[in-house]
Structure 1
């Protein structure tokens, strides 16, 4: 038995791209930057670095969620990893690992400082999760 489950929080690296397949199925693509920390062996200091994760969401929920997201939005995502491979137009083989989103929680605050709305557009989204402080003492 294997388990394929991903939980990440981060910020959108670009505005989401919503498209529709010829059969009318909604597909939402966006990127998320997930920060991590590691200790610099030369200086002994902790340094932040970003991991960039491609995410895809499908169906009617994709269209609903798209209107609340923009570059910089902070989100929590639950989903699964999917690896795909294809041949580019120049004949080279390409592949990528992405997260297929099952659940998405909005974590951003709007311009008034309240949670649960997307950037002051006035449309109520899901309640936001509390951010958990990062523990600097975890040695990675």
Structure 2
């Protein structure tokens, strides 16, 4: 196989608020951590074990501003993107490394408030956005009566 693929898809909860950084040219970048959990039963003790992994996510420009506006710590989100490795010099002079998810698409699943409400009510419709889009996610337009008349059944 001659092709390669670098794609990651995550569903998890924000571990912190979106941290924004603005550049002189008008661009911006947003960073936030996402926690994903793996739960299993330990065969020897029979107790449930949960392992949490943390993923550093990066969004750019308009998508970063949308995330900053609508996401907060504890919210559940779906992100899709590419893994990128980065290295830099720390304040102590040591070389540091990190792996980041450069987000290309995201969907807001639930807010922390909605997740905590275990009572009735329906789940909100997810909001999906592509980081290449320049407009915030919108709800689908309602169907008109005329659209129903064109159906063959």
TM-score by length of 1: 0.76
For 2:124, which of 96, 100, 115 is the aligned residue?
Answer: 115
For 2:6, which of 4, 7, 10 is the aligned residue?
Answer: 4
Deviation at 1:41, TM superposition (A): 5.0
Matches within 5 A, 1:28-107: 28-40=30-42, 42-107=44-109
Report the secondary structure of 1:67's partner residue.
helix
Aligned residues: 122
Distance in 1, matches of 2:88 and 2:53, equals 23
Contact kept, 8 Å, 1:105 with 1:126, in 2: the verdict is: no
| Cα deviation 1:15-70 (Å, max 9, x = unaligned) | 11122112211101100001113443531444111101110001212112220000
Distance in 2, matches of 1:117 and 1:81, equals 24
Distance in 1, matches of 2:66 and 2:97, equals 29
Unmatched 5+ stretches in structure 1? 119-123, 128-140
Distance in 1, matches of 2:12 and 2:75, equals 8
TM-score by length of 2: 0.70
Structure 1 runs of 4+ off > 6 angstroms?
none
RMSD of equivalent CA atoms: 2.4
Distance in 2, matches of 1:2 and 1:117, equals 30
Report the secondary structure of 2:110's partner residue.
coil
